[in-house]
Amino acid sequence: MARVKIENLKKYFGNVKALNGIDIEIKDGKFVVLLGPSGCGKTTLLRCISGLEKVTDGKIFFDSVEVTNLSPRNRNVSMVFQSYAVWPHMKVYENIAYPMRIKGYDKDKIKEKVVWAADTLNISELLNRYPAQLSGGQRQRVAVARAIVLEPAVLLMDEPLSNLDALLRVSMRSELKKLQERIGTTTIYVTHDQVEAMTMGDEIAVMHNGVIQQFGTPEDIYHRPANIFVAGFIGSPQMNFLEVEVIRKDNVLFLRNEDLSIKLPKDLAEKIENDDNKKLILGIRPEDIHKEKDKESTEFEAIEGKVYFTERLGSDTIVHLDFKGIRIVSKLPGDVKIKEGENLKMYMDLGKVHLFSTVDGKALI
Amino acid sequence: MIKKVFIVFVSILVIVWFLTPVVLIVLASLTPSEDYYNQNRILPRKLTLDHLYKLFVVLNGWRATLNSLQVAGMAIGLSFLTGLPAGYVLTRYVFPGKNAIRLSILLTRSFPTLIIAVPLIMIYLKLGISDTLFSVALAHTSFILPFVVLITTSILSGISVEYEEAGMIFGLSRFGAFMRITLPLALPGLAASAIFAFIMSWNEVFISSILTFVNRTLPAQILNTAMTSPDYFKFAAGTIMAIPAMTFIFFTRKYLMSMWGISLK
Amino acid sequence: MILLPTIVYLIAFLGYPLIQTFILAFTSESGTFGNFQRLMDTGDFWKALKNTILITGIIVPLQLVLAIALALFVNMRFKGYSLILYIISIPLALSDVSAALMSYNIFAPTGYLNKILLKLGVLDRPLYFFGYMFQNREFWVIVLTEVWRATPLVFVIILAGLQSINKEYLEAADVFGFSNWQKLRKIILPLLKPSIMSALLIRTLFAFQIFGVVWLLAGRDILILAGEAYYWHNNVNDPHMSSAYAIVIASVSLAISWFYISILRSKELEGGQK
C-alpha cells in the first residue's frame, strides 16, 4: 500500500482541458472515490494515475517516489476496468495467474496466490472455465481477483459496478468495500453514482470540469457542500435552490423572495456581510422541509404553495410544491396522505439552510 | 411444403451451376488422351494420372508450382511484416494525417495492378533482380499490402483496447501486450486473411507473366504455353491451380466468412 | 514511426512505378500526347474500348441481380445452407486462368458440350465457340465465364450487407402486413444500398481490367483494353504504348469510382432513413 500525492496535474487533449490542475493527497489504505458526471475528468485522472495516460503537466507520487513518467507496469498498480477486460483466450485460472507469470513467480507460489484470490472473491469453482462461459458478475469477480493477486501499492477501479444489474450492484458494493477493508490496499474508485460513492468511500473527491470541486468525507460533502455544484450533485431528490435578495432593515439582515422573508441571526449575518452579496442562492434539502414545525428549538420559516405532484414511495413521500412558479421539493418520512392541488404550508429548517454566492457558487454558509 | 421443394430445386440448380465446370475440368485432366479425342466417348473408361504426372514432372509444372508457392510465401511474409504493424498503428494511435493515409491506402486498390507492371520491370532491371521470383513477390506485395492493412485495421479494431491496457497494467510493455494478448486474439482473422492473400498471389497471372521469363509461376506458365500444349495438359494445369486453392478455402471457410462479415450462426 | 515501412514500400513499389508509367505514357517522339494520339489513331483502341465497356455493361448488372437472388436464397438459412455457401464461394479461390480453362473444357470443339450434343444427335458436327469467325459466340462464352467466376464476389458483399439488416425492420413489416415482394422492395433493397454500391464499385473496377479470360479464350479476336496493354508490351515491345493503355484504364476506373461515390453521397444526403 502507498500514499498517493498529486500535484497540479494537468491533462490536455489538444484544446480540451480534461484535467485542469488537480491537487489531492490520498492517505495510505484509504478507499477514495472520484465522483462526478460524465466528462468531468475522473476517468482521465484514474488513467493518469495508472500510467495508461501521459500527463501534460504536474506530478504524481506514490509514497515519496515520483512515478509521473513511469510506464504502468513499473508503478505497481492494479486496475479493474469498466468492461473487466478479462482475457478471453485464457481460462480464469490463467487470467488471475498471468500478472505473476509475467513477473516470473514460480509455479507453487502462483498457485497459492491464485487460490487465495479466487477464494476471497468466491470464484474457486470457476477456475477452469473460460470467460465466455461466465456471467457478467462472475467476470467482474475474476477482474477483481486478478487485480488483488499481486498486492499492489494502489488499486484502481473504473466504474466496476456499472455494467451489473441493480440487485447485484447493491450486493457487490458491500463486498468490494469489505474486501478493501480486509486487504487494506489504497484504493481509488471512479463512479458517477453518488449512492456508491457515499456508501463506499472513506473520502470522496467530487469532480467537475477537470477540477476537484470538493474533497472530504461523505458527511462533509453532504452536510457542508463547498459550492453549488457539489450541493446539487449530491443528494436525491436534488437540493432545492431559491434565489434570494439580501435586504438590510433595522440593522438586521433579511433574505427575501416574494412573500418569503427570512431573518438571519447575527452570526450568520456576519458571514455574508458584504456589498457583493446582494443576491444569493439559498439551498435547502428536501428532507429539511417539514410538514409541521419541529418541537426542537431551531428556527423555521414557512413556505406556502400548491401541491403540484406527490410521489408515494412507501418509506417516504415526495411532495412537489409550486411556490409562486418555483418548484420546491420536500421529502417526508413515511406514507403521508396529501391531496394534489391542495394548498399546503411547509416549514424549512433554517438550521440546515445553505447560502451560495451568485458570483462563484461558493458556499457562504 | 412448396417452400421445401423450392429450396431443394434451387439448391440443386446452384450446385450444378457452380460445381459442374470444376468437376468437368478435373475429369478432363484425368481422361486418357484416346478417350479425350474420341467423339463418341463422353465419360472416360478409366481415369489416368498420366497428364497430371507429365505436366508436373516432364513439363516442369512442379517447378512452376514451387515458384508460385515461393512467391506467395514471400509476398505474404512481406505484406504482413509491414502491413500488420501499420494496421495496429492505424487502429490504436491518433495522429495528424491519419485519415489521409487511410484514404490513400484505400485508393491504391482502385488502380489496376497492370499499370505498375511496366515501370516495375525497369526498376527491377536497375536493381538487377528482374526475372527473379523475388521481383514477382515484390510486385504481388504491392497489391496485397493494402489489402492486409485494410483487413488488419478492421480485425484489430474489433479487439478491445482494454485487453491490451490490462496487459500493460499487469506487467507487459506495449509491444509485449500486442504480442501476447492482441495477436493471439487476432490470429483466426489474420490466418483467414493470410489464406486469402495467398490465393490472390497464387492466382495472379498478368504481372507474373510480364515480369518473368525463365522462372515462371504457374499461371504465367499456363498463359504462355496455353496456345501450344495439348488440351488435356491445359486442363491438368488448371486442375493443379484450382484444387489447392479450393481446399484451402474449404478448411478455413468459417474464418473467411467472418472476415467478409458473414455470420454462419 | 512504425508506419514507415508500409509507406516507404508503397511509395517505392507503387508510387514510383506509377510515376514512371505516367512518364512513359506521356513521352514519345511526337510530344506529350504522342502515344495517346497513336492510340486513338489505331482502330484497335476504339474497338478495345467499346468491347471493354460492352462487357462491363452486360456483366455487372447481371452479376448484381444474380448475387442478390443468391444472397436472399442463402439467407433463408435452411438446413445445409452453409454447404451451399461454400459451393457458391468456390470460384473466389480460382484465378481467371482456371475459369477460362474450365470454359474451354466445356465449349471446345472436343469439349463436353459438343460431345453431349453430338451423342444426343442434336448436332452433326461440333459447334465452334472459339475462333475469329465465331466472335459473337466467343463473346457470350466470355460473358458466361465471367458471370460464373465473379458473381460470388458480389454475392459475398451483398450477403454481408443483407445479414446486417436489423431484423426488427422486417418484423415490423410483418406486423403491418407486408407481402414478401413488398418487403423486398421497400425495406431490404433500400437498406442494402450501401452494399450494392460498394459491390458495384469493386466489380466495375475489376471488370474494366478484364484480361485472363478473354486472352485465353479469344486471344486477340476480341480486343479489350488490358489485353492491348499486354500485347503492346510483350509482343510489340513498346512500353510507351502499353503504359498509355494502362493510363486510360486507370483514368476510366477513377472516373467510374468518382461517379459511384458521388451518387452514393447524394443519395445519403437526400435519402435518410426509411
Return the pLDDT at A246.
81
What are the Cα distances from residue A254, in Å, to A264, A299, C141?
6, 14, 99
Return the pLDDT at C274.
38
- Interchain proximity A73–B166, CB inside 8 Å: no
Question: Does A272 lie in the same domain as A222?
Answer: no
**What is the grid cell recorded at B201?**
498471389
Residues A116, B192 contacting (CB under 8 angstroms): no
User: Looking at per-residue confidence, does A80 or B233 come out higher?
Assistant: A80
- C26 belongs to a structural domain: no
Any chains having at least 3 CB pairs less than 8 A from chain A are B
Mutate to test the interface with A, among B170, B182, B183 (most CBs of A within 10 A): B170
Residue C127 is classified by DSSP as P
How far away is chain A from the Cα of B173, in angstroms, using its nearest Cα?
7
Return the pLDDT at C113.
82
Q: Is C29 helix (H, G, I), strand (E, B) or coil?
A: coil
Q: How far apart are CA B145 and CA B147, in angstroms?
A: 5
Q: What's the mean pLDDT when you consider all of chain B?
A: 78
Residues 6+ apart with CB under 8 A from B232: B28, B29, B31, B33, B36, B51
Nearest 5°: CA angle at C237, between C234 and C238?
A: 120
What are the Cα distances from residue B83, in Å, to B72, B78, B106, B110, C17?
15, 8, 13, 18, 20
Q: Where are the alpha helices (DSSP H) in chain B?
A: 2-29, 33-37, 50-53, 61-92, 98-108, 114-127, 133-157, 161-169, 174-177, 183-203, 206-211, 218-225, 231-251, 253-260
Q: Does A88 touch chain B (CB under 8 A)?
A: yes
Q: Is the dihedral of CA A239, A244, A248, A250 positive or negative?
A: negative
Residues A255, A311 contacting (CB under 8 angstroms): no
Residue with cell 468466491: A122
Q: Is 80 exceeded by the pLDDT of residue A152?
A: yes
Cross-chain CB nearest to C21 (options B42, B83, B118): B118
Q: How far apart are CA C206 and CA B112, in angstroms?
A: 8
Count Cβ atoms below 10 Å from residue C249 Cβ, excluding itself: 24
Question: Does A152 lie in the same domain as A180?
Answer: yes
Q: What is the mean pLDDT of residues B220-234?
A: 69
Residue B173 is classified by DSSP as -
- A362 belongs to a structural domain: no
CB contacts < 8 Å between B and C, how many?
241
Query: Cβ contacts (< 8 Å) between B94 and chain A: which residues?
Result: none
- pLDDT tens sequence across A232-261: 999 989 999 988 888 777 766 777 777 777
Which residues are bridge partners to A363 per DSSP? A356
Give the total number of structural domains in chain C: 1
Residues 6+ apart with CB under 8 A from B146: B105, B106, B108, B109, C10
Question: Does A194 lie in the same domain as A342?
Answer: no
Bridge-based pairing of strands A154-158 and A240-249 is unpaired
Work out the percent of chain A whose per-residue pLDDT is above 70. 95
Q: Does B120 touch chain C (CB under 8 A)?
A: yes
Return the pLDDT at C269.
52
Q: Quick one: how far is CA C230 from the chain centroid?
A: 18
Among A174, A29, A154, smallest CA distance to A80 is for: A154
pLDDT < 70 stretches in chain C:
1-7, 9-10, 12-14, 16-17, 28-32, 264-274
Among A192, A187, A156, smallest CA distance to A80 is for: A156
Q: Is the dihedral of CA C237, C243, C245, C250 positive or negative?
A: positive
Q: How confident is the model at residue A118 (pLDDT cuts 50, 70, 90)?
A: very high
Interface of C with B in 25-64 (CB under 8 A): none
Nearest 5°: CA angle at B228, between B223 and B234?
A: 60
Dihedral Cα C167, C170, C172, C174, nearest 10 deg: -130
User: Which helix (H) or strand (E) covers residue B158, if one does?
Assistant: none
Residue with cell 504426372: B53
Q: Is B40 helix (H, G, I), strand (E, B) or coil?
A: coil
Q: Is 50 exceeded by the pLDDT of residue A350?
A: yes
Q: How far apart are CA C132 and CA C129, in angstroms?
A: 10
Residues B219, B136 contacting (CB under 8 angstroms): no
Residues B59, B230 contacting (CB under 8 angstroms): no
Interface of C with B in 190-229 (CB under 8 A): 205, 208-209, 211-212, 215-216, 219, 226, 229
ipTM score for this prediction:
0.79
Give the total number of structural domains in chain A: 2
- C251 belongs to a structural domain: yes
Question: Does A144 lie in the same domain as A25?
Answer: yes
Return the pLDDT at C273.
42
Residue C176 is classified by DSSP as T
Q: Is C33 helix (H, G, I), strand (E, B) or coil?
A: coil
Question: Does A256 lie in the same domain as A129?
Answer: no
What is the 3 state secondary structure string of chain A? Answer: CCCEEEEEEEEEECCEEEEEEEEEEECCCCEEEEECCCCCCHHHHHHHHHCCCCCCEEEEEECCEECCCCCHHHCCEEEECCCCCCCCCCCHHHHHHHHHHHHCCCHHHHHHHHHHHHHHCCCHHHCCCCHHHCCHHHHHHHHHHHHHCCCCCEEEEECCCCCCCHHHHHHHHHHHHHHHHHHCCEEEEEECCHHHHHHHCCEEEEEECCEEEEEECHHHHHHCCCEHHHHHHCCCCCCEEEEEEEEEECCEEEEEECCEEEECCHHHHHHHCCCCCCEEEEEECHHHEECCCCCCCCCEEEEEEEEEEEEECCCEEEEEEEECCEEEEEEEECCCCCCCCCEEEEEEEHHHCEEEECCCCEECC
Name the domain boundary from A209, A233, A257. A233
What are the Cα distances from residue C249, in Å, to A183, B10, B110, B134, C157?
71, 38, 11, 27, 24
Residues A42, A159 contacting (CB under 8 angstroms): no
Q: How far apart are CA B223 and CA A34, in angstroms?
A: 70
Name the domain boundary from A210, A233, A256. A233
Question: Does A244 lie in the same domain as A228?
Answer: no
Q: Is B175 helix (H, G, I), strand (E, B) or coil?
A: helix
Interface of C with B in 97-136 (CB under 8 A): 97-99, 101-106, 108, 110, 112, 115-116, 118-119
Q: Is 60 exceeded by the pLDDT of residue B227?
A: no
Q: What chain B residue is nearest to C162 in terms of C-alpha separation?
A: B262
Bridge-based pairing of strands A186-191 and A154-158 is parallel
Q: Does B243 touch chain C (CB under 8 A)?
A: no
Question: Does A269 lie in the same domain as A351?
Answer: yes
Return the pLDDT at B143.
78
Return the pLDDT at A216.
94
Q: What is the per-residue burial (b if ≥16 Cβ within 10 Å, else e) of B170-180?
A: bbbebeebbee
What are the Cα distances from residue A40, in Å, to A21, A35, A207, A210, C243?
13, 9, 6, 5, 59
Q: Does B142 touch chain C (CB under 8 A)?
A: yes
Q: What is the mean pLDDT of residues B123-128?
A: 71
Radius of gyration of chain A, Cα coordinates, nearest whole angstrom: 25
Residues A194, A236 contacting (CB under 8 angstroms): yes
- Residue A210 belongs to what domain range? 4-233
- pLDDT tens sequence across A290-344: 887 766 656 777 788 888 888 989 899 999 988 888 888 999 998 888 888 888 8
Return the pLDDT at A44.
93
The CATH number assigned to the domain holding C92 equals 1.10.3720.10
Residues C169, C243 contacting (CB under 8 angstroms): no
- C128 belongs to a structural domain: yes
- pLDDT tens sequence across B149-179: 878 888 888 888 899 999 999 988 888 898 8
Choose from A51-65, A333-347, B55-69 the range with maximum mean pLDDT: A51-65
For helices B61-92 and B98-108, what crossing angle results, to 10°?
160
Question: Does A202 lie in the same domain as A173?
Answer: yes
Question: Does A266 lie in the same domain as A227?
Answer: no
Q: What is the mean pLDDT of residues A79-93?
A: 91
Residue with cell 461515390: C261
Return the pLDDT at B205.
76
- A363 belongs to a structural domain: no
Return the pLDDT at A4.
92
Return the pLDDT at C270.
46
Residues C88, C155 contacting (CB under 8 angstroms): yes
Q: Is C236 exposed, middle or buried (0-12, 13-18, 19+ CB in 10 A)?
A: exposed
Q: What chain B residue is nearest to A104 in terms of C-alpha separation?
A: B171
**What is the grid cell recorded at A239?**
437540493
Which residues are bridge partners to A20 per DSSP? A10
How far away is chain B from the Cα of A145, in angstroms, using its nearest Cα?
13
| Residue type at C81 in one-letter notation | Y
Return the pLDDT at C271.
46
Any chains having at least 3 CB pairs less than 8 A from chain B are A, C
Which residues are bridge partners to A254 per DSSP? A247, A263
Least confident piece of the model among A188-202, B69-83, C208-222: C208-222
Return the pLDDT at A91.
92
Residues B205, B219 contacting (CB under 8 angstroms): yes
Interface of C with B in 152-191 (CB under 8 A): 156-157, 159-161, 163-164
Name the domain boundary from A233, A262, A289. A233
- Residue C107 belongs to what domain range? 50-238+245-271
Return the pLDDT at C1.
57
Question: Does A145 lie in the same domain as A60?
Answer: yes
Mutate to test the interface with B, among C7, C102, C144, C155 (most CBs of B within 10 A): C102
- C3 belongs to a structural domain: no
Cross-chain CB nearest to C87 (options B14, B245, B262): B14
Question: Does A246 lie in the same domain as A227?
Answer: no
Residues 6+ apart with CB under 8 A from B185: A88, A89, B159, B163
Q: How far apart are CA C52 and CA C229, in angstroms?
A: 13
- A345 belongs to a structural domain: yes
Residues B99, B167 contacting (CB under 8 angstroms): no
Residues C49, C56 contacting (CB under 8 angstroms): no
φ/ψ of residue B93, rounded to 5: -105, 155
Return the pLDDT at C6.
66
- C148 belongs to a structural domain: yes
What domains, with CATH codes, occur in chain B?
1-48 (no CATH), 60-260 (1.10.3720.10)
**What is the grid cell recorded at C228?**
492491348
- A365 belongs to a structural domain: no
Using a cut of 0.95, tell me whether the model's pTM lies above it. Answer: no
